[in-house]
Amino acid sequence: MNRTMNRKRALLPCVIALALAGLTACTNNQQGAAPKGKVSIIPMPVSVQETPDSFLLDKQTVLVATTPEDKQSAGLFNAWLKELTGYELTVAEQGDKNAIVLHTGTDSSKHAEGYTLKVGKDRIDINGNDGSGTFYGIQTLIQLLPVEKGSTLWIPGADINDYPRFPYRGLHLDVGRHFFSADFVKKYIDLLAMHKMNTFHWHLTEDQGWRIEIKKYPRLQEVASKRKESMVGHYNDQKFDGKPYGGYYTQEEIKDVVAYATARHVTVIPEIEMPGHSLAALTAYPYLGCTGGPYEVGTKWGVFDDIYCAGNDSTFLFLQDVLDEVMALFPSKYIHIGGDEAPKTRWEKCPKCQKRMKDEGLKDVHALQSYFIQRMEKYLNSKGRRIIGWDEILEGGLAPDATVMSWRGEEGGIAAAKQKHDVIMTPGNYCYFDHYQSKGKNEPVAIGGYTPVSEVYSYEPIPAGLSKEEASYIKGAQANVWSEYMPNAEHVEYMVYPRATAMAEVLWSPAEKRNYDDFVERLKQHLHRLDMKKVNYAKHVFEIRGEVDSTASGVSVKLDSKLDGGKIFYTTDGSAPSPKGTAYTNPIVIDKAETIRALVFLDDKPYGNEYTQPFVFHKALAKKVTLAQPPNGNYNPGSPFALVNGIEGVKEYNDNQWFGYSGNNMEATVDLDSVQDIHSVGVNILNAKGPGIYPPKQVTFLVSDDGQHFKEVYKQTTFAKEGINQVRAPLQQVKGRYVKLVAQNTGTIPAGAEGAGSKAWLFVDEIIIN
C-alpha cells in the first residue's frame, strides 16, 4: 500500500508537467533527459509544421544510411551528438522503430539541395533530393536537438519541407593580409556549412602575402609569402610593428581542406588575383612587372600601382603555370581571378603595354585590362573551367563567359545581368563583414562603414528593376571578410558571427518569410549552438538600436533592445544612464541640441555598449531633401533624410550617416517650407585620403525662392583638415526657401597617391542651415 501511494505521488508531478507544458513524458527511460529541443531553425525553412509527436533519442537509436554520402552525413551528426550525450549512434543499413532514417533520392524534378524531414513518435525520416539535401536535413535535425546535455534527448515533432532560394550561398576569407591556419579554415567551413551555405571563397594571393604553394615557382613561398612588418592601428595612423610576418598553405594542406569541405557539401573557390594586388608575386619574380623592380611585399594596406605587366608574354606564361597547379588542387567549376583595383599608372608609361595596345588595336588601358582578363579566361575555359571576377572586369568589355561579383554597389551586377552574365551580389553596405557592426567606442579598429546584423538581414539580392529573365542571372550572394584589421582567428569570428547567420537566411529562406524580430528570437537559441562550437561571436544584436524619425517640430528617437528582460534607461544631460534614472517608454523628441545616452540593463546590470548620440538642431532639421543622383550603394544611408536628421557622421564613417559618391558630384536641395531669413549654411566633408576619400574641388551653396532660379551665396575650395572639415558660412541679408548644395568630386586619385587613377570617393553629411 505504501509503495502504491508513493508511486502515485511520484507520478503526480509528471502528470502536472504534461498538462502544463506538453513536453516530455515522465517514464523511467527519461531519467537524465535534456529538456525537449525547440523548433528554432536558422536559416528559416520553406515550410515548418509542428506536430504533437516527439521522438526520444537514446543509446538504442539507430542511424540508417546506405549510400557513402549519407553515411558521411550520419558521421557528422554523431560528432555533434557526442558533445551532448557522450555517445554515438550505431550506423546501420536498415532499421524501422527508434531510428533516424536517411534517404537520398534522384528525382531531378525536385529542388536541388532540398529535403524533407519528419519527426514522428517512433522514427525520424530525412529524405534528400540529392546528397546535399540529406546533409542539410541533418543540419536541421541538429538544430532540433536540445542545447543542454543529457543521456537522452527529446526531439520535438515537426514536418519540414525545405530547399534554398539561391544556388550560390557564399562566405569569403582573405588570408593574404593576415594568415590563418588550415585548422581554422576547416572550422570556418564547418560553420558556414552548418548554416547551409555552400561556397567558400578562399582569397589566396595579395600584395601583402602569397599563401599557396606553387612548386614550379618556389620563390612564391620563399619570398612572396613573407613581409618585413605589418601595420598596427588604422591605415590613417601609419604605424608599424617592425615584426616579420608570413605563412602559406602547402599543397597537401590545401588538398586536405578541399576534401574536408567536400564532405560538408561546400565548394572551395580559389582566388588568384590579377592583374592587380600582385606586389608579393612581383617581389619574388620582378620580371613580371612593368618596371622590373626592385619590389617589396606590401606592408601597408590599400592599392598599389605596381601590377602584372600586360605587355609581357612571360606574365601570362607564369599565370598559366600557376593556374595549372591551382586547378589540380581545386575541382571547382569556378576559378576567381580578381580583376579589381588595378591602377593603370604603370601600363600608361610601359613601352611593352603600349605596344600591346597598338598591336591588339586597344583604345585605352581599360581595354587592355579587358584583353588581360579575356586572355586568362580563354586559357581557363580550355581547361574546362570558368572565371569569376570583381565587377571591374566590366570595364573595357566583359569576358564572354565570365561571372561577375558585384561589390561596388549593385550597379555592376545589374549591368552584367542585363548582358546575360551570371552574377554573385556582394555589395559592401550589406555584405562586407570588415565593416563596424556596432557604434560602441570600445569596438576593435575596422576599415570603416557600419553594417550591423539588421542591415545584413535586410538585404535583397535581386535588384529592383530587373526583368524576370534578367533576375534569373542573379545566382546568389556572398559575404566578404577582408582581414586587414583581423590579426587572429578569434577576431575573424567576432566580425563574422552572428552576421553570417543573417546572410545565410537571406540566401536560403523565401523572401516573404523573412522577419527580423522572429530571426532574433531564433538567434537567441542558436547562439547556444555557436557556444558549443566555441565561436567568439559578437553580442551587439542585443544592444540598443536607435531609430530616428521626423516629427512636426524636428526629429524623435525610438530606442529598442532585443534582450529578454532588458530595460532601457537614458539621459539627455550628458550624465551616464543608470537603473535609478529615466526609464525609456516612448520616443524621445529632439527639440534642441543635446546628446542621448542610453543603456540596457538586465537585473540592474549594464549589458553591451552604451548608445550615445549627439544631435544638432537647425532650420533644415527633418525638411524635405531632393538628391540630383543617389549615392553609391556601398555608402548610402538609405534616405536623403539622413542629410538633415540632426546626426553628424563620425570620422570613422561607421555610423551609416555619410553619403558617398565614387567619382561623381553630389547635389542636394533642401526645402525649408517657406521663404525665410537664412543666417548661415554648412555641411560636413570627410578628408581621409588613405582609403581614397578625397575632399571636393569645391563646395557651393545656392539659394532660391521658387526652386527654379538659384543664386550663389557661398563657395569654398580648400578643405585642408585631415578628418572632418566642418564648412560653416555666415550669411548676411539672405532670404530663401530652397537651399542647394553642390559638392564637386575631385574625380580621380592623383598620381603618386595610393590607388592613383581610381575614382575618388566624396563623403558628405548633415546640411546645417540656421
**What does the alpha-carbon distance between residue 601 and residue 423 come to, in Å, rounded to a whole number?**
45
Helices of type H across 334-435: 345-349, 351-360, 365-382, 411-418, 428-431
Q: What is the 3-state secondary structure (H, E, C) of 670-723?
A: EEEEEEEECCEEEEEEEEECCCCECCCCEEEEEEECCCCCCEEEEEECCCCCCE
Amino acid at 619: K
**What does the alpha-carbon distance between residue 215 and residue 171 come to, in Å, rounded to a whole number?**
28
Of the candidates 556, 118, 544, 480, the one whose C-alpha atom is nearest the C-alpha of residue 271 is 480
Distance between start and end Cα atoms, the chain: 90
Strand segments, DSSP code E, in 108-185 are 115-119, 123-128, 152-162, 168-174
Rounded-to-10 torsion of CA 122, 128, 129, 130? -150
Q: Which residue has the cell 504533437?
A: 52
Kindly tell me the burial class for residue 614, based on how many C-beta atoms sit within 10 Å of its own C-beta (0-12, 13-18, 19 or more): middle
- Whether residue 341 contacts residue 407, with contact meaning beta carbons closer than 8 Å, is answered with no
19, three cell numbers: 498538462
- Whether residue 678 contacts residue 711, with contact meaning beta carbons closer than 8 Å, is answered with no
Strand segments, DSSP code E, in 463-554 are 474-479, 545-550
- Whether residue 446 contacts residue 436, with contact meaning beta carbons closer than 8 Å, is answered with yes
619, three cell numbers: 532650420
Neighbours of 468 (CB within 10 A): 7
Hey, which residues does 545 pair with through a beta bridge? 560
43: preceding bond cis by omega (within 30 degrees): yes
The strand pair at 659-662 and 474-479 is best described as unpaired
**What does the alpha-carbon distance between residue 389 and residue 417 come to, in Å, rounded to a whole number?**
14
- Whether residue 115 contacts residue 162, with contact meaning beta carbons closer than 8 Å, is answered with yes
| 3-class secondary structure, 726 | strand
- How many residues are there in the chain? 770
510 CB-near residues (< 8 Å, 6+ apart): 46, 165
Q: Which residue has the cell 534578367?
A: 470
**What does the alpha-carbon distance between residue 72 and residue 655 come to, in Å, rounded to a whole number?**
45
Of the candidates 551, 657, 672, 668, the one whose C-alpha atom is nearest the C-alpha of residue 619 is 672
**What does the alpha-carbon distance between residue 378 and residue 24 come to, in Å, rounded to a whole number?**
62
**What does the alpha-carbon distance between residue 24 and residue 9 come to, in Å, rounded to a whole number?**
18
Of the candidates 711, 715, 706, the one whose C-alpha atom is nearest the C-alpha of residue 671 is 706
246, containing H or E segment: strand 245-246
- Whether residue 761 contacts residue 661, with contact meaning beta carbons closer than 8 Å, is answered with yes
The verdict on whether 505 is a catalytic residue reads: no
324, three cell numbers: 595549372
Catalytic residue chosen out of the listed positions 213, 273, 341, 470: 341
Sign of the Cα torsion 184, 187, 189, 191 reads negative
Q: What is the 3-state secondary structure (H, E, C) of 51-94?
A: EEEEEEECCCCEEECCCHHHHHHHHHHHHHHHHHHCCCCEEECC
List residues with catalytic annotation. Answer: 341
